[in-house]
Structure 1
Amino acid sequence: MQYVIHDQVILSRAPEGPLATHLVPFADALSAQGYSGQLLKVQVRIAACFSRWLKQKGVVGARNICLEHATQYLRYRARHVRACLNDRAALRHLIDFLRSEGVIPVEKTVTRRVPPTEVCAQAYAEYLRDAQALAGVTIIYYVAFVRDFLHHCFGDGKVALSRLRAPDVVSFVQLNARRLHLKRAKLMTTALRSFFRYARYRGDVTLDLAAAVPVVANWSMPSIPRAISADQTRQLLASIDRHTTVGRRNYAILLLLARLGLRAGEVAFLELDDIDWRAGQLSVRGKSGQRNELPLSAEVGKAIAAYLQHGRPPSASRRVFLSARAPIKGLGPVSVSSIVRRSLLGAGVDSPTTGAHQFRHGLATQMLSHGASLSEIGEVLGHRNPQTTQIYSKVDIKALRTLALPWPGGVR
């Protein structure tokens, strides 16, 4: 007699064991996460077999199940059934589901000694988050540099900030600045100054160590941004297969990068409510959480609409762009960058870089060549500091040459 667990899963017999009553909610949870019919069948059937095995082992209540049972079952299954790569992941999903539903308790992990440097670094991170309200990415960068500095000075021992002196700070900066890119070196010094102001505010240090942090040499506009050309962008967009769901998603993402100059994170965190279809506007959440209102061109709007109507999988998430495979969730900045890299490779485009940021530089270069002012470019790109846009004044060499005065006496 067949037993229907889900509209896509049919078992050859009724489920047995301590997890029998939890198989239907487990199947519903997998379906809600966007798992395909085949993967859903595999996971539910392994869960049913696991429950039957638990009954044979004398495990009565579901609360007595632990991760070790799953490990033992996998060994048993490997000896009696042809092993599958999805078996371990399926049982992990089952255990996670049971924990989330409170069916089985969360296992206590063995507490390990947290190094004093980490305790200090996390306290600083909490200060940046609660008192300074910095963006999450900024906090990650700052804390990483501070953690390295503390480990450089104290190793795994006790952290005594009151013993720090200016030579400790200088030696650390000199040691690390050589191996870092200019921007990261400047970020390191900014993080250290922030940390020393925090330490002085707490009373851990009395010296003004922030003033002891060396200044990293910074030449104004040292290099021209590497920008993808208009021809390369056209070649890339033309290569995308918009007859597939993934192709529609990737095409819309690449258009947002190329036509609006969005950052990878701005594309990833774009939500359905950020699109005002009636007004033809896009509300973009930029750095530090500020909002920029950008016009939604017909080309970009049409691409997004095509993905939403014929490519976006069903999901409760408000993110515009979702993963194509289960579990269905919003894309992250790394995923957007990966889409760019794979698309460039597939199109055979030899672009300056494989990252998403080159589209911002490409858009700025094109706007400059069409006569846009630096202030207009900065407004489109969401630059808060006008100096950030100044670097593009080096791009249009031909335009700058028209402003040059003739050499006295003519050319020799």
Structure 2
Amino acid sequence: MKYIIDKQVALTRPLEGPLAAHIASFSRSISNQGYSACSMNRQVQIAAGFSRWLKQSGIELGSVCSDHAVRYFRYRARHVRLARGDRAALRHLLDFLEHEGLIAGQKIPERRPTPVERHVRAYEEYLRDARALARVTIINYLPFIRDFLKTCFGDGRVRVSRLRAVDVVRFVQQQASRLRPKRAKLMTTALRSFLRYARYRGNITLDLAAAVPTVANWSMSSIPRSIPTEQIRQLLASIDRRSATGRRDYAILLLLARLGLRAGEVAFLELDDIDWSAGQLSVHGKSGQRSALPLPADVGKAIAEYLRHGRPLSPCRRVFLRSRAPIAGFRGSIAVSSVVRRCIQRAGISSPTTGAHQFRHALATEMLRHGASLGEIGELLGHHHPDTTTIYAKVDIKALRKLAVPWPGGVQ
């Protein structure tokens, strides 16, 4: 006899145990997340088996915790062979029960922080609350400060008052030799920030920030690496737009190529950001700033094709969603860069890089060659400072040749 759950999953035994009344809701939840029928069937079977084991063990619903999941798999391994994905299925079940308020949240006991970590956390709190720095800036600073304190004090007590200029110089010399110029410059910026913070707190009286050596990083020392226009055409033509994933990837690449958006701006684009009647996009740029950009006809058509014939049903308001379960929006810019990398590899194109930023450089370069001013380019790309855009002047070789001073005595 078969027992049907939510008209989708068939079990050979009736549901029993403290989870029996909630397994149908769990089945609907994972179905809404886009899992296949096979995966959904497996997850419901694991949930039903776990519920029976809870009943046999005399465990009430409100007492269920992650430790019971570990014990259940030990029990299950003695009777059947564990399949790949079984542990993930039970983790999904626990997350569902916690989200529904049926079990208490699983608290992981915090390890006691080391002396270095305590100082790093205090500095992090200062950057966040007192300085109101962007989260990405804080994330970039902290590893350098953690390494600095660990180099100076090891695992022992941190006595910032004992720091001297020689400690600062030695650390910078050691680290700068193994870092790229831009990364080394970021390190010295973070170090100056921390030492000013230490002086502000009264931990040191000397201005050790002034002792941080300057790392050479000449402005505009290289030309932006951009994907050639012909390769962009080849890449777009290689995408199979008959599939849902292909329609999504094509729309993403068009946004990068036509509007020069950053990967993160594409990842966090929402349905409400598109004004179809006005033909505009509202883009979430750096530092939370929003800017309105024109929506080219081909880009709008590609997005519309994906929304109508490719985007999975989901309550998520993000424009672009994962193609695999759980169906949700991209977590960040890395996902968009991964889409670009896969498309480039699939097309067999040897581009300068495999990241998304090369399309931004390509658009700026093409605009410059067609007579656009640096100001117009900076406005489209959302640059806050004119200096950010001036690097593209190096790309216009013809214009630069006009400025070249003749060599004394002629060409040798």
Q: Shorter-chain TM-score: what band? A: over 0.9
Does 2:58 align with 1:59?
yes
Report SS of the residue matched to 1:4: strand
Q: Which residue of 2 aligns with 1:165?
A: 164
Kept after mapping to 1: 8 A contact 2:364/2:392: yes
How far residue 7 of structure 1 moved from its aligned partner, in angstroms, is 2.9
Matches within 5 A, 1:152-191: 152-191=151-190
Q: Residues 278-337 of structure 1: CA distance to partner in whole angstroms, max 9, x if unpaired?
A: 211112111211222211111111111111111111222221111111112211211111
Change (3 A) 1:410 1:107: closer
The code of the aligned residue for 2:21 comes to: T
Aligned to 2:38: 38
Q: Matched residues in 2 for 1:211 and 1:290: separation?
A: 33
AA in 1 matched with 2:261: L
1: distance between equivalents of 2:79 and 2:46? 13
Report SS of the residue matched to 1:326.
coil
Contact 1:17/1:60 (<8 A) preserved:
no
Unpaired stretches in structure 2, ≥5 consecutive residues: none
Q: CA deviation at 1:82?
A: 4.2
Equivalent residue letter for 2:35: Y
1:96-145 Cα distance to aligned partner (Å, 9 max, x none): 22233332334453442211111111222122222222221111001121
Matches within 5 A, 1:108-127: 108-127=107-126
Report the equivalent of 1:333. Answer: 333
Structure 1: which amino acid aligns with 2:52?
R
Provide the aligned C-alpha RMSD in A.
1.9
Distance 1:150 1:411, change over 3 A: closer
SS in 2 for 1:80: coil
CA distance in 1, matches of 2:72, 2:149: 45
Q: How does 1:147-226 map to 2 (within 5 A)?
A: 147-226=146-225
State the shift of 1:179 in Å.
1.2
Question: Hey, what does 1:229 align to over in structure 2?
Answer: 228
Give the TM-score normalised by the residue count of structure 1: 0.94
Once residues 123 and 164 of structure 1 are traced to their aligned partners in structure 2, the CA distance between those partners, rounded to angstroms, is: 18
Q: Which residue of 1 aligns with 2:298?
A: 299
Structure 1 residue 410 displacement after superposition: 5.8
Task: Quote the offset at 1:60 in angstroms.
Answer: 4.0
Matched residue SS, 2:34: coil
Is the alpha carbon distance of 1:157 and 1:34 closer, same or farther for their aligned partners in structure 2, counting shifts above 3 Å? same
Counterparts of 1:265-276 in structure 2 under 5 Å? 265-276=264-275
Is it true that 1:322 corresponds to 2:336 in the alignment? no
Letter in 2 for 1:127: Y
CA drift of 1:4 comes to 3.1
Unaligned stretches of 5+ residues in structure 1: none
Query: 2:291 is matched by which residue type in structure 1?
Result: N
Q: CA deviation at 1:403?
A: 4.2
CA deviations on 1:320-368 (whole Å, 9 max, x unpaired) are: 1111111122112111111111110000010011111111111111111
Which residue is equivalent to 1:383? Answer: 383
Contact in 1 for aligned 2:34/2:324 (Cα 8 Å): yes
Q: Which residue of 1 is the match for residue 259 of structure 2?
A: 260
Instruction: Name the structure 1 match of 2:344.
Output: 344
Deviates more, 1:25-34 or 1:359-368: 25-34
Worse overlay, 256-265 or 207-216:
207-216
Instruction: Note the C-alpha offset of 1:407.
Output: 5.6
Per-residue deviation at 1:31? Answer: 2.4
Instruction: Map 1:86-125; keep pairs closer than 5 Å.
Output: 86-125=85-124
Q: Is the 8 A contact 2:259 2:380 kept in 1?
A: yes
Which segment drifts farther, 242-251 or 119-128? 119-128
What is the identity, as a one-letter code, of the residue corresponding to 1:192? L
Query: How far is 1:33 from its partner?
Result: 2.3
2: CA distance, partners of 1:67 / 1:219: 53
The 2-side partners of 1:306 and 1:335 are apart by 21
- Residue matched to 2:248: 249
1:200, CA displacement in angstroms?
2.1
TM-score, normalised via structure 2 length = 0.94
* Identity, % of aligned positions: 68
User: What is the rounded CA distance, in whole Å, between the counterparts of 2:63 and 2:379 in structure 1?
Assistant: 60
Contact kept in structure 2, 1:128 and 1:139, CA below 8 Å: yes
SS in structure 2 of the partner of residue 282 of structure 1? strand
Shift in alpha-carbon separation, 1:212–1:45, aligned structure 2, 3 A:
same
Q: Whole-Å Cα distance in 1 between the matches of residues 2 and 220 of structure 2?
A: 72
Listed one character per residue, the Cα deviations across residues 65-91 of structure 1 (whole Å, up to 9, x for unaligned) are 333332333234334334320211111
1:75-86 aligned at under 5 Å gives the runs 75-86=74-85
2:238 match: 239
- Residue identity in the other structure for 1:164: L
Match of 2:366 in 1: 366
Q: Which amino acid aligns with 2:298?
A: E
State the Cα deviation string for residues 201-258 of structure 1 (Å, max 9, x = none): 2222222222221111122311111110001111111111111111111111111111
C-alpha distance in 2 between matches for 1:291 and 1:205? 41
